[in-house]
Homo-oligomer: A and B are copies of this chain.
Amino acid sequence: MLYSKLFGKAKKSSKAYDSVNAALLQKAGFIDQVMAGVYTYLPLGLRVLNKIENIIREEMNKIGEEIFMPSLTPKLAWEQTERLNTVDILMKTAPANKFALAKNATEYILNPTHEEVVVPLGQKFVLSYRDFPFALYQIQSKFRNEPRVKSGLLRGREFRMKDLYSFHTSVEDFKSYYEKTKESYLNIFKRLGLGKDTVTVLASGGSFTEDFSHEFQTFCEAGEDTLFFVKSKKIYYNKEVTPSRAPKVKYKEKKMLKRQNVFGKGIIGVGELAKFLNIPIEKTTKTLIFETDDGRVIAAAVRGGYDINEDKLRKAAKCKALKLASEKNVKKITGAEVGYAGIINLAKNLEVYIDESVGERINFETGANLTNYHSINVNFGRDLPLPKKFYDIKIAKDGDLNPDTGEIYLTMKASEVGNIFPLYTKFTDSFNYKFIDRDGREKPIYMGCYGIGSSRIMGVIVEKFHDSHGIIWPENVAPYRFHLIGLDLKDKSVSEKVHKVYKVLKEQNQEVLFDDRVDVSAGEKFADTDLIGIPYRLVVSKKTGDKIEVKKRNEKTFQLVSLNKLV
């Protein structure tokens, strides 16, 4: 490819980008942002994306068959799995204006995942035990109604993904396939250049199971995930599901003090409150009121300094979706404005979920359920009964202990590159998809689903492999193998020589990006080359004479070789 003809050349930009990958990929001309979380892949970027997806495709073809499902699905299918009204990243389509409305008013679901399509599909074609197991995958664009999108390609509203679904006649067969996909995934990440830094991590299994799913996480400073590592067990947890015990707080005081309601108008956050009351933050309590998808209103509390883990809370409260209660409901439940909820004086029949971090404290603070008031010197057993059960509903943080081993977790930043989910019969049951066994009887079908975000991987690779000058692509995913640079191109003999090198490399079916620009300085060309990050830089100039200067992007030294030798 002649760089002079390429659409999307490297550019200087003083724009503020939300991440290293967004900055480098946009400055180097790989992608262009259409809006937050939505990008166009320019010619260079599309080459990288295709290479990533082809590696995934080659490995997937060993364990499944490729199909291509649509993005639109009838709402009915999502009703059938009870996800229509609960999945909070779900988008629908609707006519965009009154003329469109007059033509067709129906709304559809824009799939973020395809269980609602693949299960009915399997049901139409495969029913006999003889045709199991089978596994179908696709590579395509997915849509998520993300509230905050950031970090370039790491989190998008529209993104590329491979999703695989497997169907089995027994749990054992499913589990053995599940293990096989783990190997397959690790193989993919190895080929993508991420092998040695990618680990298998326990993550949320979703609202319908107590089981974990497995994520593949690549260690990465810019990663949006935090891993919690239990060294003695060699287990990594994703922060979102890390079982956690708060480190105990030592108190000198032994005596319960007199409970008091303190007036603190407009003081709401626990940090501000601790300061105002002149107590350690660990003595404060954060209480929040939630509404569940099945119409309940519940309260949940953690020790100051912690946040509530909605995923853990959802499991504790056995519901499918949660959101913070409306102002109206908060008032109704607590009798106070938002911000003054606490765990004392609540209605007896209210469900309250209290984190274990809230216990074992003396003379602690909690909202007074009275506008502008906070109760201090609160004690279990005296001011409120000790709850029947303490939960683990907090988001784990640095310093927390693993409840099983008592070890303090080691933590590290990482970025998710894939995940696999045991679905068991959750979706096949929803569609009443059964198989006919040898004995003629209908039996349940076990399922797994397995995702890899190919566009996200492109972002992770850039986050992992770059220096202050630009990207350093691993060879298997680089847009081209060689970046050929002609300098002194106004000199006819040099120009002829470099064009000949280009021609010969092309004849050898080598992937070459050839910077043939005549009016651009050597300095700018070198800077662009480093920014774009192709593995091998080849320079032909007056100085290189009959030879070609070869330098690897990630090395400092170069050598002069002849064209014959290069070939």
Q: Give A contacts to B, CB under 8 Å.
A: 6-9, 11, 29, 32, 34-35, 38-43, 45-46, 49, 65-74, 78, 84-100, 102-104, 108-110, 117, 120-121, 124-126, 134, 136, 140-141, 143, 145-147, 157-158, 293, 321, 323
A564 CA to B39 CA in the complex, in Å?
52
A125-B9, A323-B102 as given contacts; A38 in contact with B70, CB under 8 Å: yes
Residue of B nearest to A293 (CB): B99
State how many angstroms separate the Cβ of A214 from the closest Cβ of chain B: 25
Decide: B323 and A121 in contact? CB cutoff 8 A: no
A7-B126, A93-B92 as given contacts; A100 in contact with B68, CB under 8 Å: no
Decide: B100 and A89 in contact? CB cutoff 8 A: yes
Residue of B nearest to A39 (CB): B70
A323 CB contact (under 8 Å) in B11, B40, B99:
B99
Decide: A67 and B86 in contact? CB cutoff 8 A: no
Decide: A87 and B92 in contact? CB cutoff 8 A: no
Decide: A66 and B46 in contact? CB cutoff 8 A: yes
A73 CB contact (under 8 Å) in B34, B87, B108, B134:
B34
Give the chain B neighbours of A143 by CB distance below 8 A.
71-72, 93
State how many angstroms separate the Cβ of A56 from the closest Cβ of chain B: 15
A108 CA to B6 CA in the complex, in Å?
30
Give the chain B neighbours of A42 by CB distance below 8 A.
67
**17 sample A-B contacts, Cβ–Cβ < 8 Å, listed by A number:** A7-B126, A34-B73, A34-B74, A41-B67, A41-B69, A46-B67, A46-B68, A88-B99, A90-B100, A91-B100, A92-B94, A92-B95, A93-B94, A96-B145, A99-B293, A110-B110, A140-B141
Residue of B nearest to A92 (CB): B96
A-B contacts besides A38-B73, A43-B65, A96-B145, 7 pairs, CB < 8 Å: A7-B125, A7-B134, A32-B125, A88-B99, A88-B102, A91-B96, A104-B145
A90 CA to B94 CA in the complex, in Å?
9
A11 CA to B117 CA in the complex, in Å?
20
Give the chain B neighbours of A9 by CB distance below 8 A.
125
Decide: A49 and B72 in contact? CB cutoff 8 A: no
A130 CA to B170 CA in the complex, in Å?
65
Give the chain B neighbours of A157 by CB distance below 8 A.
72, 108
Decide: B40 and A7 in contact? CB cutoff 8 A: no
Give the chain B neighbours of A95 by CB distance below 8 A.
90-92, 145
Which 6 A/B pairs are nearest by Cβ-Cβ distance? A88-B99, A90-B96, A92-B96, A41-B68, A103-B147, A104-B147
A193 CA to B49 CA in the complex, in Å?
31
State how many angstroms separate the Cβ of A127 from the closest Cβ of chain B: 11
A7-B134, A67-B40 as given contacts; A90 in contact with B97, CB under 8 Å: yes
Residue of B nearest to A455 (CB): B68
Residue of B nearest to A89 (CB): B100
